[in-house]
């Protein structure tokens, strides 16, 4: 059985990826909707085209004209925040000019509790330094612990969820067992495919045998027709032709079935 194991550093990176790509955006989306509804109580967020178009109308000209924001703005238009990644939500919250939250204080270190804008900036910076711009799939244990602490602290400032419990669950996840299960599934799929192939090949042998028998019978009938045409009983030719036609039809059907079966096995059923 195949088994894939990761080093501790690689496991750390996988866990950070899970937190950054799945958990953090969920918190940011929730924060966005809460702050939007506070800012625009008469146009509460509906996750539809109308909401997206209204948002884009409210963007400042400076934000619209900045070429770096073009992709983010395209994501905003349909109003489906579930499709927004961290970059898009950070743009809306910090750089769009919508003023959904307080500005970031200019002087660091910031005094806790952090403002929402500052917590989002911590998340943005942590994501960029330790994930988006990572040189490889590796993260030391010291850095891993630091990243997890920073994300828990920052996320706790933007949502009321039990952030620590959810992220700790991923932090303590047994990565290797999960990967082993995935590999086991792949092996089982390969074994099943080989069994299907073996069964198919048996059918091919049987069909090929039928084709060969049909071809042999047809050749024999052709020889009989040739002999009858040269004999004193040419009237027997008509009967032989009828028989030959039937045999040839069965031969074509068998050959066609064999060809279709081979095609489907190689290219997939269509």
Each residue's pLDDT tens digit, 191-234: 565 555 556 556 656 666 666 666 666 566 666 655 655 555 55
What is the distance between the alpha carbons of residues 102 and 49, in angstroms, rounded to a whole number?
27
| CA-angle at 79, arms to 93 and 98, nearest 5° | 30
Whether the pTM exceeds 0.75: the reply is: no
Residues of the chain with pLDDT > 90, as a percent, come to 46
What is the distance between the alpha carbons of residues 156 and 159, in angstroms, rounded to a whole number?
6
pLDDT of residue 233: 56
Tokens (6 digits) for 85: 């990644």
Mean pLDDT, rounded, for 246-267: 57
Name, of 47-51, 248-252, 259-263, the range with top average pLDDT: 47-51
């Amino acid at each position: 059985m195949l088994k894939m194991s990761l080093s501790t550093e690689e496991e750390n990176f996988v866990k950070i990826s899970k937190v950054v790509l799945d958990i953090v955006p969920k918190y940011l989306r929730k924060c966005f909707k809460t702050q939007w509804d506070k800012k625009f109580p008469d146009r509460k967020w509906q996750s539809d085209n109308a909401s997206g178009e209204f948002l884009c109308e409210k963007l400042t000209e400076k934000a619209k004209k900045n070429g770096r924001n073009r992709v983010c703005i395209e994501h905003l238009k349909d109003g489906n925040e579930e499709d927004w990644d961290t970059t898009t939500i950070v743009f809306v919250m910090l750089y769009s000019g919508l003023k959904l939250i307080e500005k970031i204080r200019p002087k660091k270190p910031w005094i806790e509790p952090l403002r929402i804008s500052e917590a989002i900036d911590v998340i943005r910076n942590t994501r960029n330094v330790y994930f988006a711009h990572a040189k490889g799939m590796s993260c030391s244990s010291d850095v891993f612990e630091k990243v997890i602490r920073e994300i828990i602290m920052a996320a706790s400032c933007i949502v009321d969820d039990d952030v620590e419990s959810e992220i700790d669950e991923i932090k303590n996840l047994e990565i290797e067992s999960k990967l082993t299960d995935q590999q086991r599934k792949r092996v089982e799929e390969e074994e099943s495919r080989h069994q299907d192939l073996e069964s198919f090949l048996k059918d091919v042998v049987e069909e090929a045998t039928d084709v060969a028998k049909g071809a042999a019978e047809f050749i024999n009938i052709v020889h009989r027709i040739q002999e009858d045409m040269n004999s004193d009983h040419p009237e027997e030719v008509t009967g032989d032709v009828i028989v030959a036609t039937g045999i040839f039809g069965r031969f074509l059907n068998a050959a066609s079935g064999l060809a279709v079966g081979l095609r489907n096995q190689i290219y997939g059923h269509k």
